[in-house]
Structure 1
Amino acid sequence: MDENVAAALDASHLIFLIAQGSLPALRNAQRILQAFEGLGYSEKRVRLLVNRYGRDETISLKEIGKFLEVSVFWALPNDFNALRQSLELGEPLAQQPLSIPLAKTFDELSAEVLGMSHPPQPKPFRGGFLALEKDPATGSLPLTT
């Protein structure tokens, strides 16, 4: 960890450690948590997010928490298709319908972190990659909208 990362962590109110539920990823998370402890970051500041978690996982969230000796703050579902669609459309995941599990999870997570009882509903995005019109002269997409 270089001095810039340490400075950013020192200035942070909350630190989110994101790890997948595989054993190698959990071992890395364990090392990072030990480093955080050595730097004096309290458990109150560090939040564990488990990324790409599904119901069929070999290691449960409870086992992950026990192994890392920290409770799992949030689990993000493994919803690659929704993420890919969001990227291809050029639309932030936060503006996707809440019927999409990953979008709903991020909405709930942000509400929890911000201490909001009812998160604001995102306004629909009317743009995106597919909404752009090609220039008739060149047949290319515009660089600016």
Structure 2
Amino acid sequence: MVTQRPAAAENVLERAIGDAQPWRALKVNASSFGISVEVGVDKLDYVKIERLDVSVNGDLAEAKARGTLACKTSDNTLVQGGFSATADVSLHFDLSTCKTTESSFEIIRTSGPFGDIVQGLKDEIAQALLRGLQRNVSKLCQK
């Protein structure tokens, strides 16, 4: 079961992950009493950054983080469930151009009722999260 935590994001990186909404496309086939139904895991439960390292050398910046994202089904769905995924992310970007020069995103652990499904889709979810983070870092840089 997904641990209950507040849905409010605490920092800019956590907000960027929340804004990426990678869970929106996740659909789960769940069965109950012989009836199969497609369920959307479309609600953010929490985002928590456990470690964040940032270094700057001239116009080049690097950020490395480990964090956990947890999502769940909407409260009014027939089948309730959710997942959490812990990932390592690395972003290198040029502060003068606001461009990401190198990046990686790896989901290292999943849990919760739908954790196995997330594990099976981890590459697609990681790519969606990475694209969202890159967009949001670029927006922050241009402000």
When normalised by structure 1's length, the TM-score is 0.23
Higher-Rg member (1/2): 1
Q: TM-score, structure 2 length as denominator?
A: 0.23
The structure, 1 or 2, with the larger RCO (C-alpha pairs under 8 Å, 6+ apart) is 2
